[in-house]
């Protein structure tokens, strides 16, 4: 199959997937799908919103996958709801610009990691994001991750997975672990 760019595409039809909920594993699942797509020769773009911290384990690992584009936005500071700064909004807009570029048809899979949180915090308006997702080329699969997915995004999605926390080691005082949680 050929996409709009004239390049061979992996998928005949791309869907919109949303991974949300309070449980662990949303980004991990999206990265697994990116790995799977890459294994089939697909072109993958991953845009991580609100992840300016340099210690995420996937940063170095993703550099080792040929043809995979990985972009991060945000600052290394935690963003607290109600205390968002102008730089947080600017970084969210920069992420949306990257998403617009990556959704042009060159990639078979585009992961928009933590975009749900950006929308939930009001760092971006929902309607332009929905318009962008709906206007993507037919063959492009999109995965949007993060807690607090907006209802309208859930309704627009072809697949929705909610990660539900049953038990988490944090409740017993186990702190974030390198290689597991980041």
Residue from 123, 119, 107 nearest 156 by CA: 119
* pTM for the structure as a whole: 0.93
Residues 136-165 have pLDDT tens digits of 999 999 999 999 999 999 999 999 999 999
Per-residue pLDDT at 8: 86
- Cβ neighbour number for residue 130 with a 10 Å cutoff: 17
% helix, strand, coil for the chain, step of 5: 35, 15, 50
Per-residue pLDDT at 171: 86
Query: For each successive 10 residues of the chain (182 residues), what is the average pLDDT?
Result: 72 97 97 97 97 88 94 94 96 98 98 98 98 98 98 98 93 89 87
Residue from 95, 80, 94 nearest 47 by CA: 95
Rounded to an integer, what distance in angstroms lies between the CA atom of residue 99 and that of residue 56? Answer: 20
Residue from 104, 142, 115 nearest 16 by CA: 142
* 29 CA to centre of own chain: 10
The H-assigned helical ranges of 15-149 are 26-39, 58-63, 86-102, 115-120, 126-134
Per-residue pLDDT at 2: 66
The domain segmentation of the chain, as residue ranges, is 16-172
Please say whether the beta carbons of 105 and 135 come within 8 A: no
User: Is the domain 16-172 a CATH 2.60.40.10 member?
Assistant: no
Please say whether the beta carbons of 29 and 154 come within 8 A: no
Per-residue pLDDT at 181: 87
């Amino acid at each position: 199959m050929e996409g709009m760019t004239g390049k061979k595409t992996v998928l005949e039809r791309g869907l919109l997937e949303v991974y949300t909920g309070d449980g662990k594993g949303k980004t991990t699942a999206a990265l697994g799908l990116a790995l799977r797509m890459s294994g089939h020769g697909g072109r993958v773009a991953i845009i991580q919103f609100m992840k300016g911290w340099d210690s995420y384990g996937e940063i170095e690992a993703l550099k080792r996958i040929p043809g995979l584009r990985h972009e991060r936005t945000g600052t290394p500071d935690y963003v607290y709801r109600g205390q968002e700064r102008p730089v947080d909004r600017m970084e969210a807009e920069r992420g949306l610009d990257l998403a617009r570029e990556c959704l042009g048809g060159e990639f078979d899979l585009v992961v928009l990691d933590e975009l749900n949180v950006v929308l939930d915090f009001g760092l971006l308006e929902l309607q332009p994001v929905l318009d962008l997702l709906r206007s993507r080329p037919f063959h492009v699969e999109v995965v949007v991750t993060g807690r607090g997915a907006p209802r309208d995004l859930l309704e627009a999605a072809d697949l929705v997975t909610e990660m539900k926390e049953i038990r988490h080691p944090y409740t017993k005082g186990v702190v974030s672990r390198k290689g597991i949680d980041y």
